Amino acid sequence: MKLKVLATALALLATSACVYADSEALNRIERLEQSQSTQHQLLVQNSSPSADASKAPVSQKKPEKKALEPTVDQAKAAIIVANILTRFEYDKKPLDENMSHAVFKEYLKMMDPAKLYLLKSDIDEFEPVRQNIHTMLMTGRLAPAFAMFEKYRDRVEQRFDHALALLDKPFDFDVEESFDLDRKKAEWSTSEEQINDLWRKRIKNDYLRLKLAGSKDSVIVEKLKKRYINNRNQIMRMNGEDVAEMFLNAYGNSTDPHTSYYSPSSAKNFDVQISLSVDGIGAVLQKRDEYGQIREVVPGGPAAKSGKLNPGDRIVAVGQGESGPMEDVVDWRLDDIVKLIRGKRGTTVRIEIIPAERGMEGKHTTVSIVRQKVTMEDQAARYRIFEAGSNGDKRKVGIITIPSFYEDFDAKARGESNYKSLTRDVRVILEKLDKEGVDGVLLDLRNNGGGSLSEAANLSGLFLGGPNPIVQVSTAEGTTSNVRSATGKLVWNKPVGVMVNRISASASEIFAAVIQDYGRGVVIGDPTWGKGSVQTIRGLDEFLRRHEGEELGSLKWTIQKFFRVNGSSTQEKGVVPDIVFPSAFDPTELGESSYENAMPWSKIAPTKYSGYDSLAEKIGPLKTMHEQRTQQSDSWKLLLDELAYARKTSDKKVISLRYATRLEEREKMSMEQSQFEERRKKLGESDVNSFRLDDGLAAGEGNLTQELADEKKRKESLDIAIKEAANIVADLAKQK
């Protein structure tokens, strides 16, 4: 099995890519095929388990701990990844001893970021691996990395078994001692006694959090046992595919923050995320104890139409077709359950459930559902109309929330006429808003991490017309070209606002930057992430000359740097809004500049483009009106006070483990938060983002019904910042 020879230049996200490997790399793959079986396991990555708040009994059952060995396909994947990244990544770095040390450090950080499991002696034992990762990758010899994981897995089992034993003994909450919450700079424990004491304090803090929230001792012990067993079993269920993915990701992340390897299972999940569509039943699952549980039913999907599956239902078994055998899936990994339920559209799947309303001892029910293509509309662009403005002079502002820049690449490639696309969805929304007489639009890109580059370009075209240059892309060799919006007429010619925050990245930054550079609209919020690079993603089996059913996963790697039409890069600096809002994020902790190996900012010559001259002179007056309005706004004062309070409370790195001390702190916090809640209520502001006292629960342990209600409320409500951003768009509309 040989790698393809480079036939065409690497291109953008939607184009094909071929990679050249030298004869030695080809020989390595051939030797692997000759010496080992080509059979491989098609496994999946587990999602984070979460315990349930119900009274289901605690199962002490441990998953079978199997020896993990890399497969031939995983070895091939390593060789191909090493050849791609050393030859074709934008910022090529040699695969040498220095890189070996960097990968080793990253691999340990992925396994044990808080240094809670491994000992210093374990790290010393791994020293030969640290020195030789570069040769391991080039030869596909992954066994040492797997051995490292197995040692880590043993330590995880050991630590949680120790934790379970500690729960059978009482804690002394009168002694004054503390627990360090921030372990980023912690050293590895040098002895069992030292790490056991660390765990004693960790468990004591978990116990104290629940105790302060009002739980009884017996309930606390039961809940923590569930949590620790689930956490232990999550790691013990990890398989060879998970380990290979983590190790190759450690390498990818060491070369570039945005280079990632996807195992075969993860690659399928990535496709679902970017396309917002999947063939299945239309249900979102989560792990609760040993069960897969229905978290949400997608509106309009097969499950919703059947009326027989509901949030909270627990899955017991899954069968294929009308009469295929039922497979017991209790205590399975969540992704393995999902893999059984997904399948070819038009086929039938049978699911045995414990209905939520019947409780854990209730009668089981079997539901038959025909799989169909399901589109996740809840993750697509959505809008609402808001009456914004000051002094009784209101304007209708359409607020369009864009969670990601999605596009169904596969459906588009197949020539389907109605493939899922952000630009198509927003075009429909804009046409509706125009018919409803909206005066301006505000596109909310907060927390939008990006997506398809072509969607960023084409979405821009709705507001600029086309074809217009949207962004410049440059290769490592210095070749620069323009990415243009699709040919088409201007869809929206009224005022535009774009709201961003520190989490807005990549495609979000391209869109915000081009709207700002053309003077087409006002950008509002806080400075963005600062990602200024382009990645391509390819299935690694494409690089084999003869593909015989291998599933090697996919690689996403950096191939270009992008620049604004004015020549400036968003790399590290991000997009600075025209009107800056106070931020909830610490830029030193979050953003491109926080990466040790981030590419530096740079600049190239601007490209030719024709902007809108009228907006520049309006920014000053818009800022003045914003400042005058917010100085008189009790809601804005509330926002500033809440941000200051959040920063103050989050800065605490060390916490007391004495009950009386923590109770006093909690009572003070309760009083402070009640004051914020009263101010929100008096001002008519939504309480969905208000402060809440710590309930001591981990993710997934709360009440599912309440969680879903909060999510729904969060989607439907408008926060203080977005309403002020809409006011700014209304001000802009008045200046036309």
Give the Cα separation of 410 and 549 in Å (integer): 19
Q: Catalytic residue among 396, 531, 561, 723, which?
A: 531
Q: Which long-range contacts (CB under 8 A, 24 or more apart) does 673-681 make?
A: 676/638, 676/641, 676/642, 676/645, 679/634, 679/638, 680/638
Tokens of 298: 């997608």
Give the Cα separation of 472 and 297 in Å (integer): 41
Q: Which are the contacts of 496, defined by CB distance < 8 A and separation ≥ 6?
A: 440, 441, 442, 443, 463, 515, 520, 521, 522, 729
Tokens of 685: 């502001």
Give the Cα separation of 452 and 405 in Å (integer): 5
C-alpha triplet 250, 251, 257: angle, nearest 5°: 75
Give the Cα separation of 536 and 553 in Å (integer): 14
DSSP state at residue 188? P
Give the Cα separation of 404 and 449 in Å (integer): 7
Q: Is 23 a catalytic residue?
A: no
Neighbours of 282 (CB within 10 A): 24
DSSP state at residue 49? P
Q: Catalytic residue among 122, 517, 541, 578, which?
A: 517
The residue with tokens 């009002």 is 214
Tokens of 7: 């036939």
Q: Which are the contacts of 383, defined by CB distance < 8 A and separation ≥ 6?
A: 398, 399, 400, 401, 429, 432, 433
Give the Cα separation of 176 and 173 in Å (integer): 8
Q: Catalytic residue among 189, 454, 506, 569, which?
A: 506
Give the Cα separation of 155 and 60 in Å (integer): 18
| Selection from 215, 124, 194, 112 nearest residue 155 by Cα | 112
- Residue 94: asked if its preceding bond is cis (omega within 30°), the reply is no
Q: Is 506 a catalytic residue?
A: yes
Give the Cα separation of 218 and 470 in Å (integer): 61
For residue 656, how far is the Cα from the chain centroid?
Answer: 32
Give the Cα separation of 375 and 456 in Å (integer): 21
In 80-162 the beta strands, taken as DSSP E runs, fall at: none
Q: Is 161 a catalytic residue?
A: no
Give the Cα separation of 705 and 70 in Å (integer): 42
**DSSP states of 330-390 as a string?**
TT--HHHHHHHH---TT-EEEEEEE-GGG-TTSPPEEEEEE-EEEE-GGGS-EEEEEEE-S
DSSP state at residue 271? H
Give the Cα separation of 69 and 734 in Å (integer): 67
Which whole-number Å values give the CA distances from 379 to 322, 364, 382, 503, 507, in the listed order? Answer: 32, 32, 9, 17, 17
In 106-167 the beta strands, taken as DSSP E runs, fall at: none
Tokens of 508: 């979000």
For residue 714, how far is the Cα from the chain centroid?
Answer: 19
Task: Return the sign of the alpha-carbon dihedral for residues 359, 360, 361, 363.
Answer: positive
Task: Return the sign of the alpha-carbon dihedral for residues 148, 154, 160, 165.
Answer: negative
Q: Is 283 helix (H, G, I), strand (E, B) or coil?
A: strand
Q: Which are the contacts of 391, defined by CB distance < 8 A and separation ≥ 6?
A: none
Give the Cα separation of 531 and 404 in Å (integer): 15
Q: Which residue type is seen at 86?
A: T
Q: Which residue type is seen at 213?
A: A
For residue 616, how far is the Cα from the chain centroid?
Answer: 36
Give me the active site residues, please.
506, 517, 531
